[in-house]
Amino acid sequence: STVITEEGIDVLAASLSPDVGKKVAEFTANAMGGSMPFHVALANRLDIMKPSRKDIDDCLKNHPLKFSPGLEEFINALRNQGTVVYLVSGGFRQMIDPVAEILGVDTKTQVYANNILFDQAGEYKNFDEKEPTSRAGGKARVVGMLKETMKYKSIVMIGDGATDMEARPPADAFIGYGGIAVRAAVKEGADWFVTDFNDLINVVKSE
């Protein structure tokens, strides 16, 4: 709920049934707030949902994900300055890749997210536990890897959850985003906290 206005996993769950949606949303709130280990919340949510490939396709078709206000302009402003943008998410690649494609973010090299595994019939099988974002501290591992392999001088993490905040360090700064949901721990722990991407756009354009 930084790039888009809702938690993708909650949107998918709600599209399956109201009961599934409610149960999954509770786990998401605990994971985002930091009160439950992320991999536990992820496994529990997927066990409740067991989404098939068709379930995900239908969800994206019937519930198009909406970008947070100002997000697209912000990414364009960063690009105009030569900044490389990555999407690092505890959500599902099957739902994030279409968003990344619209934003012009390379899904093979600039997206790090969890991958749902399906059987030959397209039914839910498991999730890829090798993905760094499937566990607590995964976003920090991704940032550390990017620093090491890409030799970036500085990396700024922007997000609205505890798992985003965990990425600093190795991220050089953490900007908390509260445009959709304000979480007290994130607001308190951020180097800078904003509720509107226009605040960030103005800073980028002024540099």
Q: What is the mean pLDDT of residues 10-15?
A: 91
**For the chain, what is the largest distance between any 2 Cα atoms, rounded to a whole number of angstroms?**
52
Burial class (CB in 10 A: 0-12, 13-18, 19+), 165: buried
| Closest residue by Cα to residue 85 from 114, 112, 116, 115 | 112
Q: Under CATH, to which class is 8-206 assigned?
A: alpha beta
What's the pLDDT score for residue 16?
94
DSSP string, 119-174: -TTS-EEEE-TTSGGGSTTHHHHHHHHHHHHH--S--EEEESSHHHHTTTTTSSEE
Contact, 171 vs 155, CB < 8 A? yes
For CA atoms 60, 86, 192, 80, give the dihedral sign. Answer: negative
Q: What is the mean pLDDT of residues 98-103?
A: 93
If pLDDT is split at 50, 70 and 90, which confidence band does 139 have?
very high
What's the pLDDT score for residue 34?
63
CA distance 195 to 178: 4
Q: Output the CA–CA distances (angstroms, integers) from residue 164 to 14, 51, 168, 185, 202, in the order listed.
A: 24, 25, 8, 11, 23
How much of the chain, in percent, has pLDDT values that exceed 70?
Answer: 97
What's the pLDDT score for residue 96?
92
- Domain boundaries along the sequence of the chain: 8-206
Please indicate whether residue 122 or residue 183 has the higher confidence score (pLDDT): 122
At residue 174, φ and ψ (nearest 5 deg) are: -125, 120
What's the pLDDT score for residue 31?
67
Note the pLDDT tens digit of each residue in 43-76: 888 999 999 999 999 999 998 889 999 999 999 9
Report the SS3 class of residue 52.
Answer: coil
Q: Output the CA–CA distances (angstroms, integers) from residue 116 to 47, 77, 122, 141, in the order listed.
A: 12, 32, 11, 20
| Closest residue by Cα to residue 12 from 66, 49, 41 | 49
Q: Is residue 33 over pLDDT 70? A: no
**String of b and e for 21-47 (b: at least 16 CB within 10 Å)?**
bebbbebbbbbbebebebbebbbbbbe
Q: What is the mean pLDDT of residues 124-149?
A: 92
At a CB cut-off of 8 Å and minimum separation 6, what does 175 contact?
156, 157, 158, 159, 190, 191, 192, 193, 194, 200
Note the pLDDT tens digit of each residue in 155-201: 999 999 888 998 999 999 999 999 888 888 899 999 999 999 999 99
